[in-house]
Amino acid sequence: MGDIHEMPMRKCFSHRGMIIRGILPMKDRDRLSDLKKSNYKQMKEYRLGSSKQEIFELLPERKVKKVILGEKPIGILRMGELFYAFDSQCPHRGADLLQANINGLSEIICPLHQYRFDLKTGQVRSGYCSDLPVYPVHLHEEGLTIQIPQ
């Protein structure tokens, strides 16, 4: 689907979905240094498409599309002007989330055992498994960018 552009690598880190880039003020650096090192991941940015219009055409609303970013299969979902990116396999038993349903609470429902996950945070809302990994995604005039840990 569309073109995928690998963006030049930037120094950025993710902590609970918050992307931190560039040089931080000292107090923020101190706060960040208190966080566990395992929370830091270097991110690689990918761009899908080349315009907003192209993205809206590529991603029909409420339909999960799969893209391979690096070597990672990622599910992308559009709900109106909101976009979500997440692992395309369920963290429970690995079912493909391409066939997943979306409910009115912005939850994705796995087609195999109907576990539900919050699309914004990946938190499991029903069922017993780890959270669904979710990734920062942003719509720009030049397309959709998705940041994936390396």
Q: Is residue 98 a contact residue for ligand FES (CB under 6 A)?
A: no
Q: Is residue 112 a contact residue for ligand FES (CB under 6 A)?
A: yes
**CA nearest neighbour of 2 among 58, 69, 79, 60:** 58
Helix (H, G, I), strand (E, B) or coil at 115: coil
CA distances to 9, 45, 64, 146 from 126, rounded to whole Å, are 36, 31, 20, 27
Q: Are 146 and 133 within 8 A, CB to CB? A: no
Q: Is residue 115 a contact residue for ligand FES (CB under 6 A)?
A: yes
Stretch that binds ligand FES, among 13-21, 34-42, 78-86, 112-120 (CB under 6 A): 112-120
Stretch that binds ligand FES, among 19-27, 43-51, 87-95, 140-148 (CB under 6 A): 87-95
Can you tell me which of 58, 90, 124, 139 binds ligand FES, judged by CB under 6 A?
90
Computed on alpha carbons and rounded to an integer, the radius of gyration of the chain in Å comes to 16
Q: Is residue 113 a contact residue for ligand FES (CB under 6 A)?
A: yes
CB of residue 122 to ligand FES, shortest distance in Å: 13
Q: Which residue has the tokens 């945070």?
A: 121
Helix (H, G, I), strand (E, B) or coil at 30: helix
Can you tell me which of 29, 62, 63, 93 binds ligand FES, judged by CB under 6 A?
93
Q: Which residues in this chain contact ligand FES in the complex, by CB under 6 A? A: 90, 92-93, 95, 110, 112-113, 115, 127
